[in-house]
Structure formats: C-alpha cells, structure tokens
Structure 1
Amino acid sequence: MKIFFQTKNLVRTAMVAALYGALTWALSSLSYGPIQFRLTEIMVLLAFIDSAYIPGLVLGCIIANIFSPMGFVDMAFGSFATLIAVFLISKTKNLFLATLYPTIANGIIIAIELYFILKLPFLLSFGEVALGEFIVVTCLGYPIFKAILKNKKLVTLLKFN
C-alpha cells in the first residue's frame, strides 16, 4: 500500500480517473441510455494488469456518472458495480473470463437500479446493459488487451511499481 501513495502513482490514478470521466462525458451520446456503449469501459481491463488501477477506475466512474441522467443514484450504484467488476478482474488469471465480470456486475446492479428507480423491467434492463458491456469490454477490449499483454515492455510500463 505504501508504494501506491508515491507521487507518480497518485498522478497515474488521477489521470486514469480524469480520462475515464472526461471521455465518457465526451462520448455521452453512447455512454448513457438503455443500451450503453461506454467505450471507456475497456479501461477496466487495466485492473487485469495491476490492481492499483482500481481506485482510479472507480473514481473515473463516479466522475462520469455525475453527468448521467440518473445522477447521484448512478454515481453510487454504477460505481459500486465498477468496483465489484474491477476487483474480480484483478483476481482473475484468464483475460477472457475477466472481460465477463463487467457484463455481469453492471448488468445485474444497473438493472436493479433501473427497476427500482424507473420501474423498468429487470430482465430487459439486464439484457440491454449486459449487451453494451459485452460488446465493449469483451468484443472490443479483449483483443486490444490480448495485444497489449503480448508486448512485455508495454505491460511493464503500465504496471504501477
């Protein structure tokens, strides 16, 4: 934990959070709505490389969800879903399996949120959220991170220590 509080690691965390939040907002037409294609969700796979990315990714999700039509509720529940997903990603050794956690966590938690707040059908909401997550994180993110993981210098550069 001591190494995390080094200036360069705190700056990296802030940069990840700012990048996630700003890009999500900049691509808001894709990032919010029933079927979301939040391209910044690919970044959650950084937790596969180093668990030290977790705080920046969760904070980035909080920042992004400030602009969500659901506001504070999405800041809380969406960020909680991200926390669960990135924690599980960081504990997984198989990249493909890791890409499925955001689909499941966001699908369930956001569907519960939409069911209770907007009275939307749970299964429909789950399907829509899960579809967007699967397309972005698994279909797009998996090949990108598979290529990143083949480049040992890049992986070393991406690690916090």
Structure 2
Amino acid sequence: MATFTVWKFDTPEGADTASGILHDAASQGLVTMIDTAVVSWPEGAKKPTTRHGQQGEWRGAGWGAFWGFLLGMLFFIPLIGAAAGAAIGVAAKAMEAVGINKDQLERIREGVTPGSSALFAVTEGADMDRLGERFHGAVGTLVSTNLTPAEKANLLETFD
C-alpha cells in the first residue's frame, strides 16, 4: 500500500533537508519513493514555493497534476472564510481516493505558514527502523498520513 505523509518543519529549509535524507534512503533500498513535493515558505514571502520531485518520468505528468491540484488548493488560491472551507471540501472529495480527508487537508493548510516548510511524500515498503535512524535529529512534525492508527503510532515512535 502506498503511504501519503506530510511532515512540517519549523524552517524554510527543513523540508529540503528531509527530502535529501529520504532520497538517499531510497537509493539504498530502505524505502520506495513514488513521488515527493516540497513546500517552502520563507518568512516575509506572500506565498510559498513548491517543487515536485518527479520520481519517474512516466509518472511525472500524473503526479504533477496531483501536486498541482493539491498544493494549489491549499496554498495558492486566495480564500477567505466560507470560501476556504468550500475549497477544502472540493479538494477533500477529490483526494478521498488516496486516503486524504478534509481534516487532514485543513491541518496541512493551517500548519504550513511563513517561516516553515513541508515535505509531502508518497512511499511504499519502508524499513521503518533503518529509515528512522536516517532521520534521527531531523526535527519535523507529522501533519498528516493515511496510515492505520497502529502504523502511525509505530511511525511516530520510530521518528520521535
């Protein structure tokens, strides 16, 4: 099963650092990377910047559309009040197929703010113990995942 995970970092560079660690781990067979996206929001910037990982050329267009839709709805469409809730609802309906719900989208939108960054990752088959060793000291907050409660607890324990 593919796992969708979002990690928030308290610096604009934190997600880039974590992305490098994750890519290195993938090259050593500790996790299969399906795709990634990094959102970085420097302090004082009006909006964040995004970068799609493009893990595989044949998958690039599909994942590019996925990330464009998701990140556009979360960060680039100017929304206020009820319009924000409606847009999150539309995004949630579209994201149900990949296990992302409205509450998760709202946590992501509220959690990534100026001065922070986020790593969005879709992975499979992670060796959690060995992968956790790689992330030791890379302080991030798990914002959202479609893991089961038991898998999520194991993930938090591994990376804590």
TM over 0.5: no
Q: TM-score, normalised by structure 1?
A: 0.35
Q: TM-score, normalised by structure 2?
A: 0.35
* Bigger strand share: 2
* Bigger helix share: 1
